[in-house]
Amino acid sequence: MSRNQPEDIHIKRMADMLRQGSTLTDLACPACHSPLFRLKNGDVWCGKCEKKVVIIKEGQDASQAQGSSALNLLETTLLVKIQETQDRMQHEQDVDQLLKINATLSALLDSLEKLRRTRKA
Ligand SMILES: [Zn+2]
């Protein structure tokens, strides 16, 4: 019985990412110096640390980069929730439930709008 070495798992993971459409960048992970990948959604990812790496552009400080990435994450979450709520709405027959779902949806859309306004400010 053979067990995978951590390095093998790392290489396999990188191969999987390439197969899924990620591209290898010329950047190195600040933590482990592994080559970084760019995911299809534009995020930069370290396959070894298994986490997103925030690339800080020149003239932008770390707290700003962190802040905008937190907003991006929140926006993604809101969009997913809006989608889920819309799906529920399509399949719901009960009027009371529909009203509740509608209230949820409008609250979510409201949050999304506020978020986008915050980012522009
Ligand atoms: Zn890393």
Query: For residues 45 and 27, what is the distance between their CA atoms, to the nearest angstrom?
Result: 10
Residue 119: the pLDDT is 76
**If you average pLDDT over residues 103-113, what whole number do you get?**
90
pTM for the whole structure: 0.46
CA quadruple 76, 80, 83, 89: dihedral sign:
negative
- Tell me the percentage of the chain whose pLDDT exceeds 70: 85
Ligand 1 centroid–CA 26 distance in Å is 14
Query: What pLDDT is stored for residue 44 in this prediction?
Result: 92
* Ligand 1 centroid distance, CA of 49 (Å): 4
* Residue 66, φ and ψ in degrees, nearest 5: -60, -45
C-alpha angle 119-62-112 in degrees, rounded to nearest 5? 20
pLDDT, average across residues 29-38: 86
- Answer with the residue of higher pLDDT: 54 or 100: 100
Distance 61 CA to ligand 1 centre (A): 21
Distance 115 CA to ligand 1 centre (A): 30
Letter for the amino acid at 73? Answer: L
**Is 98 in contact with 92 (CB distance < 8 Å)?**
yes
The predicted-structure confidence for 42-99, as pLDDT tens digits, reads as follows 899 998 888 898 876 666 566 666 667 778 888 888 888 888 888 888 899 999 999 9
CA 30 – ligand 1 centroid, Å: 7
CA of 39 from ligand 1 middle (Å) equals: 15
Distance 28 CA to ligand 1 centre (A): 8
Q: Which domains does the chain have, with CATH numbers?
A: 6-52 (no CATH), 62-120 (1.20.58)
H-helix or E-strand spanning residue 87: helix 62-91
